[in-house]
Structure 1
Amino acid sequence: MANQKLQIQTALQILKPAHQVFQAIVDPAKMSNYFIAEGSGPMEEGKTVTWKFPEFDETFPVRVGKVEQDKYISYYWDGTDGTELLVEMTLAPKGDQATVVTITEKEMDNNEAGLNWLKGNTAGWANFLACLKAYLEHDINLRKGAFDFMKPES
Structure 2
Amino acid sequence: MEVALSDEARRLVALFEDETGAAVRDCVVDDEHDRLVYLVAAGDMPDAIGPGGEAVRRVEDRLDREIRLVEDAETAADFVANALSPAAVYNVTISENGDTVAYVEVAQADRGVAIGEGGKNIEAARTLAKRHFGVDGIELP
What TM-score does the superposition give when structure 1 sets the normalisation length?
A: 0.31
Q: Which has the higher strand share?
A: 1
Which of these two proteins has the greater Rg computed from alpha carbons? 1
What TM-score does the superposition give when structure 2 sets the normalisation length?
A: 0.33
